[in-house]
Amino acid sequence: MSDTGIGARMLRKEDHRFITGKGRYTDDINLPGQAVGYFLRSPHAHAEIKKIDIKKAEKAPGVLCVLTGEDAAADNIGGVICGWMIHSKDGSPMKAGPHPVLAQGKVRHVGDQVAVVVAHTMAQAKAAAEMINVTYKVLDANVDPVASQKRGAPQVHDVASKNTVFEWEIGDKGATEAAFSNAAHITTLDLTNNRLAPNAMEPRAAIGSYDAGEDHYTLYTTSQNPHVARLVISAFVGLAPEHKLRVIAPDVGGGFGSKIFIYAEEVVCLWASKRAGGVPVKWVADRSEAFLTDANGRDHVTRAELATDKDGKITGLRAKTIANMGAYLSTFASSVPTYLYATLLSGQYNIPNIYAEVDAVYTNTSPVDAYRGAGRPEAAYVVERLVETAARELNIDPAEMRRRNFVQSFPHQTPVIMCYDAGDFDASLNKAMEMIDYAGFEKRKAAAARKGKLRGIGFSNYIEACGIAPSAAVGSLGAGVGLWESAEVRVNPVGTVEILTGSHSHGQGHETTFAQLVSDRLGIPADQVAIVHGDTDKVQFGMGTYGSRSGAVGMTAISKALDKIEAKAKKVAAHVMEASESDVEFKDGSFSVKGTDKKMAFGEVALSAYVAHKFPTSEIEPGLKEGAFHDPTNFTFPAGCHICELEVDADTGVTEIVDWVAVDDFGNVINPMIVEGQVHGGIAQGIGQALTEAVVYDEGGQLLTGSYMDYCMPRADNLPSFKLGFTNTECPSNPLGIKGCGEAGAIAAPAAVMNAMTSALGVKDVPMPATPQNVWNAMAHLREAAE
């Protein structure tokens, strides 16, 4: 293994600019003559807009224009859309209400955008916005997802009767009912998967710029997938055709899903630039705005049941979930509680019968869409809480319960679409138990009790599906796009390489790992490789970065393009060295002719390809540049075992995570340092979900967690250092054998924490987040016993 090849702990190439303050995020870009856009937002969760009076604001100092939903309608600016069609049980298509870029007739959540003011300075824009007079007729708000389907609940969208977007199902209902009828034991849990705010540290931002001379738009935006943004803004919003719109996502400061989606503000900045006479319009969310408008994650209410036989063998699983979509269907919202959730309800287990129903509902809250893990954390939470609880009810050691039910042979077809292709679940469980010294737990628990601490241990044996694919399959499930990835490899005449990729890093280190792949394959140093991404004018097309897909799908596309480069370079080398192509070998960056000492370095072949002196250009085109599109044959299935050990202060309900072991199987690993970092971050977000984070609305739909004063982000002192281990079953569906690692921690962690928590307190459930208050409530039985 070279220092910069596959498997090396190579330091990141992108770091230099970030640690010296030279990163270039959207807000760091300022275009000449740029104005600012400020959004006037709804203070009400649900109201009719009777009248918007902008006259005074339009005349305020520094104001270039004030735009409302009426203007958008007049200019034929379409709304933003949801790109995944889900059909209900009865075959009817989901009921998607309109999502105008500026409210038309109605506001549906606090923070809904009502008007935009474009002015020379932010102070001027804010002052003018205060002069806009909006007459609202305030309506009752529908905030509780469970109550939203009941008769009399306020209706968010006319098209969705009983606020129901769809009533979807998966699995064999009859067979599952039968399994439950015959079960020796049934475990039931009512679980709430708390609503989370993604909180990328860089708030969303956009600069729209219209060039009247060229009739061309440019959008700088905080996006995980600039090409998809361009597609949606062109094809659905109808602002401009794709060749008249360039979307650039420069450095992106985290996303975790929230920057996949196409947001109204991006469209409005572009449109407002044209309306303001071609002045670039910049909008940067402040954190309060982010809390009101970024798509949130999770927000499921589920009744889950597990049927077992007398030996603890699982015979069936069923779940009924109500998924809160918020006030509008965000870009991929409908896929999250359906195909990204219920298809994983088999977990790591051989479960013969599964049936799940999911009702998606509208409420007067901000939209909910994919957030790190997207559906899979919710599935892992259901499965792992059920299995652990069943083990306790059946008096079986939770590890043993899992072993009895693990899938042992592959491929394994689950009853809910997924076909697991590889894995070794015993291996990760055993390694994790050894690393945390499971055998010594009872001793540690006793020692903790002597200090007034309740100690618990919890497992989470998660599995996830990444690299959502193949396109034909996701298309048949309702996806509006194909989920392949593209790559172009440009070899320069001097042998340096540019990789153009449709993936787009927002912290994952693609500039490093993608370069490692190239370095490994072409035998050139990684510093001779540049990664180009995040610009629709440079990269032809791509699907972006989410769902842990950039390794498995994006790098495979690069790998395929590299195959073509190697093949062509061999041809060139054969001509130059006057050998038969079949005798040319490529190894460690040089081409050699079998049985001779003839040899050419990669760079020499590149130069030969460009000077084109020594091969017939009628047979071989000059130059060395190849592209590839890769559509995987299957999802990939990262899996592993996380074990959490925690202590609860019996007096206060304060929880401390005292130990954490994560053993993950990501297949082959390109850069262990980066992969470990991804796991750390994912676990932290999962612990955040379990212990500290929740988006809370009051009954009237006002957001109570609108800043870091009330939304509790995990800090350094909330978290331990993590112990990581790896197992490896190579992924068979891509040539690199990699599965993906970006979401694993967030998927695994909540169940591990809550299994440990319930074990510590000796209760069946504690609602997430297990804040000191919630834990204290859950300890009422202990206080009563003490009295």
Interacting positions 240-259 with another protein (CB under 8 A): 251-254, 256
Work out whether 610 is an interface residue with another protein (CB under 8 A): no
Which stretch, 22-30, 36-44, 460-468, 618-626, contacts another protein (CB under 8 A)? Answer: 22-30
Identify residues 496-515 at the interface with another protein (CB under 8 A).
506-509
Q: From the CB of 150, what's the least distance to another protein, in Å?
A: 25
CA distance linking residue 397 with residue 453, whole number of Å: 23
Q: From the CB of 289, what's the least distance to another protein, in Å?
A: 9
Phi, psi of 428 (to 5 degrees): -70, -35
Identify residues 116-135 at the interface with another protein (CB under 8 A).
123, 126
Q: From the CB of 14, what's the least distance to another protein, in Å?
A: 7
Identify residues 160-199 at the interface with another protein (CB under 8 A).
199
Read off the tokens for 145.
């997802």
* Rounded CA Rg of the chain: 27
Q: Which residue has the tokens 């048949």?
A: 476
- Residue 748, phi-psi category: left (phi > 0), alpha (psi -120 to 50), beta (remainder): alpha
Which contiguous run of DSSP H or E holds residue 486?
A: strand 485-491
Which stretch, 78-86, 600-608, 758-766, 771-779, contacts another protein (CB under 8 A)? Answer: 771-779
Which stretch, 13-21, 431-439, 546-554, 602-610, contacts another protein (CB under 8 A)? Answer: 13-21
Q: Does 98 sit behind a cis peptide bond, omega within 30 degrees of 0 on the bond before it?
A: no
Work out whether 16 is an interface residue with another protein (CB under 8 A): yes
Work out whether 25 is an interface residue with another protein (CB under 8 A): yes
> Which of 1, 20, 152, 213 touches another protein (CB under 8 A)?
20
> Which of 3, 15, 48, 400 touches another protein (CB under 8 A)?
15
Which stretch, 20-28, 132-140, 176-184, 476-484, contacts another protein (CB under 8 A)? Answer: 20-28
Q: From the CB of 458, what's the least distance to another protein, in Å?
A: 18
CA distance linking residue 342 with residue 351, whole number of Å: 13
Which contiguous run of DSSP H or E holds residue 497?
A: strand 497-501
Work out whether 293 is an interface residue with another protein (CB under 8 A): no
Read off the tokens for 388.
């652990």
Residue 234: strand pairing partners? none
Cβ-based nearer residue to another protein, 502 or 742: 742
Q: Is 645 exposed, middle or buried (0-12, 13-18, 19+ CB in 10 A)?
A: buried
Identify residues 444-463 at the interface with another protein (CB under 8 A).
none
> Which of 216, 680, 725, 765 touches another protein (CB under 8 A)?
680
- The set of residues, in sequence order, having a beta carbon less than 8 Å from that of 174 and lying 6+ positions away, is none
Q: For the chain, what's the residue count?
A: 787
Work out whether 674 is an interface residue with another protein (CB under 8 A): yes
Cβ-based nearer residue to another protein, 506 or 568: 506
SS3 call for 705: coil
Cβ-based nearer residue to another protein, 413 or 773: 773
> Which of 31, 131, 713, 782 touches another protein (CB under 8 A)?
713
The answer to whether the CB of 341 falls within 8 A of the CB of 378 is: yes
> Which of 716, 785, 786, 787 touches another protein (CB under 8 A)?
716
Work out whether 681 is an interface residue with another protein (CB under 8 A): yes
The site that binds another protein (CB under 8 A) totals a number of residues, namely 72
Work out whether 101 is an interface residue with another protein (CB under 8 A): no
Which stretch, 473-481, 517-525, 586-594, 719-727, contacts another protein (CB under 8 A)? Answer: 719-727
Work out whether 298 is an interface residue with another protein (CB under 8 A): no
Work out whether 278 is an interface residue with another protein (CB under 8 A): no
Interhelix angle 398-405/376-394, rounded to 10 degrees, is: 110
What Å distances lie between residue 180 and 107, 245, 396, CA to CA? 45, 55, 20
The answer to whether the CB of 179 falls within 8 A of the CB of 316 is: yes
Q: Is 308 exposed, middle or buried (0-12, 13-18, 19+ CB in 10 A)?
A: buried
Q: From the CB of 773, what's the least distance to another protein, in Å?
A: 5
DSSP code at position 688: I
Q: From the CB of 280, what's the least distance to another protein, in Å?
A: 16
Read off the tokens for 289.
């705005």
> Which of 209, 692, 727, 755 touches another protein (CB under 8 A)?
692
**Strands across the sheet containing 584-587:** 584-587, 590-593, 599-601
Identify residues 199-218 at the interface with another protein (CB under 8 A).
199-203
> Which of 43, 482, 627, 677 touches another protein (CB under 8 A)?
677
Work out whether 286 is an interface residue with another protein (CB under 8 A): yes
SS3 call for 334: helix
Q: From the CB of 302, what's the least distance to another protein, in Å?
A: 23
> Which of 709, 784, 785, 786 touches another protein (CB under 8 A)?
709
Q: From the CB of 103, what's the least distance to another protein, in Å?
A: 22
Cβ-based nearer residue to another protein, 299 or 626: 299
The answer to whether the CB of 342 falls within 8 A of the CB of 359 is: no
CA distance linking residue 519 with residue 5, whole number of Å: 6
Q: From the CB of 118, what's the least distance to another protein, in Å?
A: 18
CA distance linking residue 558 with residue 751, whole number of Å: 36
Dihedral (Cα; 711, 714, 716, 720), 10-degree rounding: 160
Work out whether 34 is an interface residue with another protein (CB under 8 A): no
The one-letter code for the residue type at 154 is P
Which stretch, 37-45, 58-66, 233-241, 673-681, contacts another protein (CB under 8 A)? Answer: 673-681
Work out whether 561 is an interface residue with another protein (CB under 8 A): no
Work out whether 21 is an interface residue with another protein (CB under 8 A): yes
Q: From the CB of 488, what's the least distance to another protein, in Å?
A: 25
Work out whether 683 is an interface residue with another protein (CB under 8 A): yes
Cβ-based nearer residue to another protein, 439 or 716: 716
Which contiguous run of DSSP H or E holds residue 189?
A: strand 185-193
DSSP code at position 614: S
Work out whether 57 is an interface residue with another protein (CB under 8 A): no
Identify residues 629-668 at the interface with another protein (CB under 8 A).
651-652
DSSP assignment of 125-160 equals: HHHHHTT-EEEEEE------TTGGGSTTPPPS-TTS
3-class secondary structure for 60-93?
A: CCCEEEEEEHHHHHHCCCCCCCCCECCECCCCCE
Which stretch, 12-20, 459-467, 577-585, 632-640, contacts another protein (CB under 8 A)? Answer: 12-20
Which stretch, 162-170, 388-396, 603-611, 704-712, contacts another protein (CB under 8 A)? Answer: 704-712
Work out whether 781 is an interface residue with another protein (CB under 8 A): no
Cβ-based nearer residue to another protein, 398 or 745: 745
Cβ-based nearer residue to another protein, 312 or 509: 509
Between 720 and 739, how does the x/- string for binding to another protein read (CB under 8 A)? -xx-----------------
DSSP code at position 436: T
Cβ-based nearer residue to another protein, 253 or 458: 253
- The set of residues, in sequence order, having a beta carbon less than 8 Å from that of 776 and lying 6+ positions away, is 652, 653
Q: From the CB of 285, what's the least distance to another protein, in Å?
A: 10
End-to-end CA distance of the chain: 64
Cβ-based nearer residue to another protein, 708 or 735: 708
The answer to whether the CB of 250 falls within 8 A of the CB of 26 is: yes
